[in-house]
Amino acid sequence: MESEATEQLPHPMETDPPPPQEPPRIHRLDESVVNRIAAGEVIQRPVSAVKELVENSLDAGSTSITISVKDGGLKFIQVSDDGHGIRYEDLAILCERHTTSKLSAFEDLQSIKSMGFRGEALASMTYVAHVTVTTITSGQLHGYKVTYKDGVMEHEPKACAAVKGTQIVIENLFYNMIARQKTLKNSADDYPKIVDLLSRFAIHHKNVSFSCRKHGSTTADVHTVAMSSRLDSIRSVYGVSVARNLIQIAASDANPSSSVFEMDGFISDSNYSAKKTTMVLFINERLVECTALKRAIEIVYAATLPKASKPFIYMSITLPPEHVDVNVHPTKREVSLLNQEVIIEKIQSTIELKLRSFNESGTYQEQQAVDSSPVSTGAANKVSPINASTSGSQKVYAHKMVRTDFQDPSGRLHAYMQVKSSRHLESKCDLNSLRSSIRQRRNPKETSDLTSVQELVNEFERGCHSGLLDIVRNCTYVGMADDVFALLQYNTHLYLANVVNLSKELMYQLVLQRFGYFNGIQLSDPVPLQELITMALREEDLDSEENENDDLKRKIAEMNAKLLTQKSEMLHEYFGIYVDPQGNLSRLPVILDQHTPDMDRLPEFVLCLGNDVLWDDEKICFQTIAAALGNFYAMHPPFLPNPSGDNTEIYKRGSCSSAEGKEGMLLGRKELMMSYF
């Protein structure tokens, strides 16, 4: 009985089963939620937005692309191009999802050649940022400007002035995605990633000019012009030290049973050393990544080079469009290739053979330490060629390293040092090429997006006399014949050159070539424009005893100062002339490096800006401002009016009356003329 009673008791661990739960209901997400989720996948960070916009500009046939970025792209991104623009009737659906001009059927993906095709990028940006589009197409008298939010226009397109092409502005990126915004603010600035992205595009698209700078900065961190060769593009972006250590490679296969492709590019040789692999890969004109190919190439370098240094690789691979699947990644960063393993193996074999051939040839760079002090013959004999392939056997500490790269002027102090050598005459060609490189870096020919400025540049380039230009470039400076004319020798001829007119033309051309990209000369104390204009007006009136026109002069000065203050934004952005809201001039542009204008002519220059500039016509406005700057910055003879009031005579400043002062003045003019031509 006891056992039966025990069996009837419930087990202490047994409990009643939980009541059955109903499965959660599946419901349709709101369209705005769907779009924001998709936008966060397509536009992952500011550099993603820049890549999409640049690819759109390239698809539009642009030859010049300019990017401006603020706060790493979170606050402001502006991409301007000179492409074919956007039709007025297409603006209404421009930022809707899956609207595109690149394809119309799914089968088109098999032959797609454009970089964009989904129609998601602009739509995604409107869901996570404020987007403004300004565009003009060929033949239109004016452009249109419209803002977008959540894929639709906020207002009808407004007519506006515009330059050729399209300008897209992205503001407050991820303003409605707080977690993403905080993550990006706490991480490293995206601007270096944007600069790296533009550098990669620049070396591949050598026929397109690229410019990238921080918003408000007067200097561009990336600036390239159309180049004739790929190697020149790499040199302009990554520097001489990279370009001179590159080997050209090429590979191809036309066997349909294995693979069909063509590859060309440049890889670094055994003299190149870096801590990180730089691989720029374009497949069918798309900037992509291929981890398998990168790893295969790194294995070759590790096995071939004793130092196992990290390489620099630029590679462009072309395949039939139907052999590439471009729709495998949300940001199109990766693609899938038909017979990928075979292609990688053949490229790997080509690189391995090229590196082995280079190593067996024994071609190594011979470098010498550069020192400004004389070196004894015995010490010079101790300097031996440096073999990069054997230097890995013994570690050289950083504090024992010596600067040896005298051919790379970018950022190297010794590029500006005078090297005293017994072989000075033999190295004249090398020094000339070095000076040419420095000159090109100091005076870059910036290309402006404005058609009017391009027309002005084209005008003086078309009017250039090749014979006279050759004389100025290759002449020998003899000396100054007087205060205006310089003696120049060219071959067996002796020429008189008007320094004043020559320097005026030089400064005028430099203003237009550097349009919008000026460094600044900061004045020690801001100067009121009204006082400067009044001084200029009084200098025009030589009779100081008559004061009846003082009221008129004051009104003229006040009106001109007010006008220039109203135009301050344009003057600062395009010409580097900064006028504060109170009407004080505080900054002037650097037109020619290491040259400062005569500040005694500043009142005359400001009066010229107020009186002589035609502000209503864009081209004439820029032309007259450039001419005023050219006249102000030109080399003028040191003349002053005779204090007696007799204008038929002039006298020189006392500083130039002595032989020493005059010699300094002449040397300054020689520096000005020879530093550019």
In tens, the pLDDT along 31-85 reads 666 666 666 667 888 998 999 899 989 988 899 999 999 988 999 999 999 999 9
pLDDT at 212: 93
Structure-token pair, residue 44: 């992952």
**Segment 638-652 mean pLDDT:** 40
Among 415, 605, 445, 460, CA closest to 521? 605
Q: Measured between alpha carbons, how far is 640 from 656 in angstroms, rounded to an integer?
A: 12
Cα four-point dihedral sign 53, 54, 55, 59? positive
- In this prediction, residue 670 has a pLDDT band, given cuts at 50, 70 and 90, of very low
- In this prediction, residue 165 has a pLDDT band, given cuts at 50, 70 and 90, of very high
As a whole-number percent, the residues of the chain with pLDDT over 70 amount to 70
How much helix, strand and coil, in percent to the nearest 5, is found in the chain? 40, 20, 40
Beta strand pairing call for 639-641 and 578-579: unpaired
H helix or E strand, kind and range, residue 16: none
Statement: residue 460 has pLDDT above 60: yes
- Cβ atoms < 10 Å from Cβ of 329: 13
Among 292, 273, 271, 274, CA closest to 283? 292
At 514, is the secondary structure helix, strand, or coil? coil
Statement: residue 266 has pLDDT above 90: yes
**Segment 496-504 mean pLDDT:** 87
Q: What are the start-end ranges of the E strands in 75-164?
A: 76-81, 130-136, 143-149, 152-153, 158-160
- Return the half-sphere exposure (C-beta side, CA atoms, 13 A cut-off) of residue 260: 10
Spatial contact of 118 and 100, defined as CB atoms under 8 Å apart: yes
Question: Most distant CA pair in the chain: distance in Å?
Answer: 146
In the predicted model, what is the mean pLDDT of the chain?
Answer: 76
Residue carrying structure tokens 């420095």: 438
Among 273, 278, 274, 251, CA closest to 262? 251
Spatial contact of 113 and 284, defined as CB atoms under 8 Å apart: yes
- In this prediction, residue 128 has a pLDDT band, given cuts at 50, 70 and 90, of confident
429 CB burial (10 A radius; 0-12, 13-18, 19+): exposed
Which of 33-42, 147-156, 590-599 comes out lowest in average pLDDT? 33-42
pLDDT at 392: 40
Spatial contact of 607 and 560, defined as CB atoms under 8 Å apart: yes
Amino acid at 579: V
Give per-residue pLDDT as tens, 169-224.
Answer: 999 988 888 878 777 876 667 899 999 999 999 999 999 999 999 988 888 888 88
Which of 243-257, 452-466, 621-635 comes out lowest in average pLDDT? 452-466
**Sequence-ordered list of residues with C-beta below 8 angstroms from that of 224, at least 6 positions apart, any chain:** 202, 209, 210, 211, 233, 236, 237
Give per-residue pLDDT as tens, 392-451.
Answer: 445 555 455 554 444 444 444 444 444 444 444 444 444 444 344 433 433 444 445 678
Q: Measured between alpha carbons, how far is 264 from 131 in angstroms, rounded to an integer?
A: 39
Structure-token pair, residue 173: 């990126």
pLDDT at 381: 42
Which of 5-14, 77-86, 133-142, 579-588 comes out lowest in average pLDDT? 5-14
pLDDT at 246: 92
At 303, is the secondary structure helix, strand, or coil? helix
pLDDT at 157: 92
Q: Which residue has the higher pLDDT, 311 or 413?
A: 311
Torsions phi, psi for 343 (to 5 deg): -65, -45
Q: Measured between alpha carbons, how far is 465 from 280 in angstroms, rounded to an integer?
A: 41
173 alpha carbon, distance to own chain's centre: 23
At 221, is the secondary structure helix, strand, or coil? coil
pLDDT at 40: 61
pLDDT at 307: 63
Among 347, 350, 317, CA closest to 335? 317
Q: How many residues does the chain have?
A: 677
- In this prediction, residue 248 has a pLDDT band, given cuts at 50, 70 and 90, of very high
Distances (CA, A) of 569 to 212, 352, 541, 587: 21, 57, 32, 13
- In this prediction, residue 674 has a pLDDT band, given cuts at 50, 70 and 90, of very low
At 578, is the secondary structure helix, strand, or coil? strand
pLDDT at 499: 86
Per-position b or e across 510-541, b if 16+ CB within 10 A of its CB: bbbbbbbbbeeeeeeebbebbbbbbbbbeeee
Among 543, 503, 500, 535, CA closest to 606? 535
Distances (CA, A) of 313 to 43, 264, 276, 446, 667: 27, 11, 11, 28, 47
Give per-residue pLDDT as tens, 346-405.
Answer: 999 999 998 888 876 655 554 444 444 443 344 334 333 334 433 344 555 545 555 444
At 292, is the secondary structure helix, strand, or coil? helix
Torsions phi, psi for 570 (to 5 deg): -65, -45
- Cβ atoms < 10 Å from Cβ of 286: 20
Which of 111-125, 145-159, 404-418, 536-550 comes out lowest in average pLDDT? 404-418
pLDDT at 645: 42
**Segment 85-92 mean pLDDT:** 90
Torsions phi, psi for 408 (to 5 deg): -105, 105
